[in-house]
Chain A
Amino acid sequence: MTELVVNNVQKWLGGLQILKGASFTAQRGSIVALLGASGSGKTTLLRCVAGLEQPEIGQIVIGGKTVLDGEKKLALPPEQRNIGLVFQSYALWPHRTVKENVGYGLKLRNVSQADIERRVQAILDRMGLGHLADRFPSQLSGGQQQRVAICRALVYEPRVLLLDEPLSNLDAKLREEARYWIRKLILDLEICAILVTHDQSEALAAADNILLLQDGRIVQQGGPQEIYSNPNSFYSADFLGANNIVKAKVKAVDGKAAVIGGDNWSLNGTVRESSGLNAAEDARAVIRVEQISVTDSPAADGLEMNLDDSIYLGDRWEYRLRRGDFVAKAHGTKQLTSGKVWARIPADSVWVFSAGTQQ
């Protein structure tokens, strides 16, 4: 069931257009991640959905109710949108206890005091916070505060839960745990959630659908696997994963297959540029680091390269490879001696894009 429809939302700020027509939908029981670098407009888009920012153009429908319509000059304030928003800073009210923070949304909805008590206690217990109900936010750890913030946004069962970088204030270990249980919680409760993040691993791990934003536009959307393994632009390819970016010349093109090369090297690759490429054009190739496998024994299908150094990273080794002006990183399980090595790079993992001007 579609809970959220965002259609062609455009927003200006001081003469600068910061959202250039974003459209997407989100279903109940799924998580949509808005992923992008800072300045891509992802937080602004979320705030437009929440009603905290007013776009000039566009429609937004939440749970079947139109909350924004640029043509009809309709813009409902946040309190009439039936949403829950979890802020990056958690924004817990410092003068209220945990119980009062969480129960406030119910109080505003005229739920009886007994019901408030019961529902607040139930959700706190579920999050493992039951014993903290009478504490003040300042007496809680960061992770506890974050769970209280989620309780507060969920307890009155909003149609859409909006999460604005909810994990960025947690330390790395807590973050991995949190993204797992947040996903589980949302799927269990069968609500619709929008997650804003700049952290690709967070988006990949937690979301069912990822919208990649660039410069106020959604440049690609799809499931995590789709968006990771089938990028449609250099920006998408480069934004996700750990990558080698190779500047090269297109030597030959045959349909989707291309040969690129530079100073004393050439590689078979796949044309990913939507408008195609021509021979002799300048190009950039994106090769995911994990797609390159390196051996120290000669391999017929491998490119002979020079290993400058092996760097120990704990769980693996990183190899620094070079051939002419082709410089690359790859990973492996063992230390290799510097010198001659062979790198296998599958042609369908060498994604060739035009050199572009702006990106």
Chain B
Amino acid sequence: MSTHAQAPAALPITKAAAEKKYPAKMPRQGNANAYRTIVIGLLAIAVLAPVGLIIYQSFLTAAFFSPRAAFGFDAYRYVFTDKNFYKALGTTAVFSFGMVGIAVPLGGLLAFLITRTDIKAKRLLEILVLVPMFISSIVLAFGYTVSVGPTGFVSLFVRDLVGVVPWNIYSLPGMILIAGLSHVPHVYLYVSSAMRNLPSDLEEAARTTGASIWQVSRDVTLPMVLPSLIFAAALNILLGFETFGIPLVLGDPNGIMVLTTYIYKLTTLFGTPTYQLMAVVAVVLILITLPLVWMQRKLLRNARKYAAMGGKGARVATLKLGKSGQIIALSIIGCWLFVSVVLPIGGITVRAFVDAWGEGVNLWDQLTFANFDRMLEVPSLVRGVINTVLLAVVGGALAVGIYLLVGLAGHRNWGTSNTVLDYIVLLPRALPGLVVGLAFFWVFLFVPFLTPLRPTLVSLFVAYVVVGLSYGLRLLQGTLIQVAPELEESARTTGATIGRTWKDVVIPIIRPGLAGAWALIMIIFLREYATGVYLMGAGTEVIGSLMVSLLQTGAMNTIAALSLISIVLTGAGLALALRLGARIHD
């Protein structure tokens, strides 16, 4: 909006006087207000209904459909006097902060090496570094089990050499280490984009006054990217509170519980589902995560302000590492990649093709396709793979369509509905996938005309759309905002209504961005495992949720086969995303 308003030092006027001076705004006509209100209203229902149902359920004494259900605080009383709950809460906190303690310094270091130095193979590393982010954490956790678990391939190899396995991943430190390493990409993503925006003349200025590379990094670069580091830390604490796969696979065998696994275990604790207790823990979880989301939002605004102070499109002169520097830097990244990518994925790959292993067993003799053959014989597993692909490819496309409709409703919107939209989008970020799935499971039980849809993929799709909402919408909004306002305004002055403008100008221009968003949403949907846990039934199996339920039975062969399929599908999705030019670095 170029209104050339160069504000002179505004005279301080009292609020009452300002209101008197300022006439009422004219209603904006032809701005698709009805459309915006309806879309944002529907979205509000889709997000608020499940949350409302959880809160409602938490104040009942039995499942909401049970005739015995009455209002009461029994569930809260039970949970708040349960020792295990406090233990889980404490463990969750230690887990989250420990994870941040590993992920943030390492992610910051990787970001520095890859964006600010002349490290070799930069383009390849930029993609490789992000890989752990795209793999579902239950697959990763399983990968660690089969490679460095008590009887994992690597563990056995090491035991042959030194006589003992010097580590135990089925422990809180083990969980923290693995979660920390696998969350490095989340830190890297934010810190590297902040570092890219740093004008290098600031660093050069410090160099010319006589500071060494390391002094410059410490005194100039670090303070400048501090806001993004803090933001990444806040994000990871949130992710830590919501994490489910790693504690389920690695913590559960030794009885280490976090809040999400506590909810999950409540189902089996009493033999019958205790919905009211699950609801209470979900409410507690939301009460912890919502302020975190809120804080993150404030931090992000500050970080943007900070970044805006730097020059735009600043030329980045890289620091020369020198020969020994290159070797050190590449080994750091190599080590990290080995531990967080090669170990789990390699483990799964080997495990998927062997049936038996152990001391003295030659793996080459055991190579077999039996795991996959057996999988093909079980209809639910085959359906799971097909459903996963369907949900990711078709559901992903539909979801992008929905995010586009929502994005347009918020596009150049000045009304109060935009503020509403802003807040609605925050909510799903505070909801772990497990809770969203649970809530939608209840919604589909609770609302009579939706009940027939529960055993279909529709129920999963709706839950997935809500889970992916904040990420997907951010992708779409980022694309929409790139359409120069004059391109839309010129369509309006030429005679097009706002709807025609969207159809004829905005959407055709952002089409490449839509394709990229589709690929990224596809990956998100492929890796999702927690959302489907409660919605799973005959016909709604997906790979991730099948793995969660198979873990209870210990069918390792099948899990390995499913994991490998999941990794291959994710790899295909990632390749497609890169091919479509998706902006992973936003």
Residue contact A50 to B493, C-beta cutoff 8 Å: yes
Contact mask for chain B residues 240-279; partner A; CB cutoff 8 A; 1 contact, 0 none? 0000000000000000000000000000000000000000
Task: Across the interface, name the chain B residue whose C-beta is closest to A84.
Answer: B493
A39 to B484, CA, bound (A): 22
Q: Could you tell me the distance between the alpha carbons of A105 and B28 in the complex, rounded to whole angstroms?
A: 23
**Contact A38-B6, Cβ < 8 Å, known A78-B492, A79-B496, A104-B504:** yes
Kindly identify, within residues 130 to 167 of chain A, every residue whose CB is under 8 Å from any CB belonging to chain B. 149, 152-153, 156, 162
Query: Are A87 and B23 in contact (CB-based, < 8 A)?
Result: no
Contact A104 B491 (CB under 8 A): yes
Residues on B with C-beta less than 8 A from A57 are: 23
Contact A18 B5 (CB under 8 A): yes
Contact B18 A79, beta carbon cutoff 8 Å: no
Q: Which 3 A-B pairs have the closest CB atoms?
A: A77-B30, A91-B486, A39-B6
Question: Is A79's CB under 8 angstroms from B497's CB?
Answer: yes
**Number of A-B residue pairs with CB-CB distance less than 8 Å in the complex they form:** 128
Which of A70, A80, A89, A105 lies in contact with B486, CB distance below 8 A?
Answer: A89
Bound-state CA distance A108–B486 (Å) is 18
Q: Which residue of B lies closest to A83 (CB)?
A: B493
What residues of chain B lie closer than 8 Å to A153, measured between beta carbons?
Answer: 493-494
Known contacts A17-B21, A75-B29, A104-B504; 8 further A-B pairs (Cβ under 8 A):
A15-B22, A18-B5, A39-B4, A50-B493, A51-B492, A91-B490, A94-B509, A162-B493
Residues of chain B with a CB closer than 8 A to A50's CB: 489, 493
- Contact segment of A41-49, A178-186, A230-238: A41-49
Q: Mark B13-53, 1 if CB is under 8 A from A, else 0.
A: 00000100111111111110000000000000000000000
Q: Quick one: which of B24, B489, B496 contacts A85, CB cutoff 8 A? A: B489
Question: Is the Cβ of A152 less than 8 Å from the Cβ of B494?
Answer: yes
Interfacial chain A residues near B494, Cβ < 8 Å: 79, 84, 104-105, 108, 152-153, 156
List A residues at the B interface (Cβ < 8 Å). Answer: 10, 12-13, 15-18, 38-44, 47, 50-57, 70, 73, 75-85, 87-89, 91-95, 104-105, 108-109, 149, 152-153, 156, 162
Shortest CB distance A168–B (Å):
12
CB distance from A204 to the nearest CB of B (A): 21
CB-CB under 8 A from A13, the residues of chain B are 3, 5
Query: Which of chain A's residues have a CB closer than 8 A to the CB of B397?
Result: none
Contacts of B386 in A (CB 8 A): none
Judged by a CB distance under 8 angstroms, whether B515 is at the interface is: no
- Say how far B486's CB is from chain A's closest CB, in angstroms: 4
| Given A94-B509, A108-B495, also A75-B23 (CB < 8 A) | no
Residue B487 lies at the interface, judged by CB distance under 8 Å to chain A: yes
**A55 in contact with B496 (CB, 8 Å):** no
Q: In the complex, what residues of B have CB within 8 A of residue A10's CB?
A: 23
Query: Which residues on the A side are within 8 Å of B493 (C-beta)?
Result: 50-52, 78-79, 81, 83-85, 153, 162
Question: Which of B7, B487, B500, B509 lies in contact with A16, CB distance below 8 A?
Answer: B7
Query: Is residue B339 within 8 Å, beta carbon to beta carbon, of the partner chain?
Result: no
